[in-house]
Structure 1
């Protein structure tokens, strides 16, 4: 344990900090059990973790960033700490009250494939938990952006686009599906790499990206009625 004592100012002792020895996040922390997955796959907890990706935060700082109250976050913080998703990196005593500084456990949280396989017993709960958590978090972030004016559908134009949302179907051969998914992966890599080059831009902002491409049980695409069929219905 590294203990750092600050100096006296005007006869009053400044805050006393105690910093843990291991404060830098690990490269990755694998989610290998259903309980930890459920602890993480909550939209509010995902938002908390995203805030911590920028650096350590106190509960008060998190509450201010998420536009909520600290009392509404203590339970989430407790669950996340118990499952090793976050950890205390330092504490400080302010007016006799201990305040904790939390940080992410790792920079990435890969999920064990057994939790996503429906052939495994854990997959029955695991995969729906992942989908619900990711899509719920995405929806909350978009709604938050719209509420704050960050996303303005009226101002978004083809010449200056900052938001898109799309769901569509297409009939593909296995090879074509493979090709598209490979291109999606390359585009996502490019998207992630932009962080290294765009951070110096004064108007740069963090963007979210949620992508899913998957086979469905549909045999054929919905067919559009032919022009003559529309005319017959109109005359009838």
Structure 2
């Protein structure tokens, strides 16, 4: 089972968003189970659960883990193909975000478009790598910094931009034979805090945060 996989097909995305099927995926992510075993957990008849399982299987969201005999019946044990799923913007191809339409480094909407493209591209790369049975070379850095003031935040962004730009200039070789372009995405955004069980976004402290 994969830790996370990307759903690129629109029909598969719609199937996964059904509340009952989403619950079944969650149950099967915990371990293999049959329709009869799941029926009691989700409060549905076995036949109805079996229908949903076949739909999930048809779209590659669950797979056969094995079979077992129970009396005169052979039960199919199903499992989720991943522990978690991400829906790619490719599933909404006609209206997916396009960061090339505009560029505004201080726009949260542009940041969201970049994030959507990241999900789409990495999802496609993972699919291709799996088919080719090759590993995908990627790198990610996740960190947290607390700024004492808006001025410190602005200074940090300026230094970050200068540092990354210098690295790009140092290592970029557009004429390298056999070279493969890599995309670099760097993002800075406020942390989402959870207060009293609900998400709360801190009020902006500088004009940049309102974009």
Interval of TM-score (by shorter of Structure 1 and Structure 2): 0.3 to 0.5
**Greater Rg, structure 1 or structure 2?**
1
- The two structures have a TM-score, normalised by structure 2, of 0.45
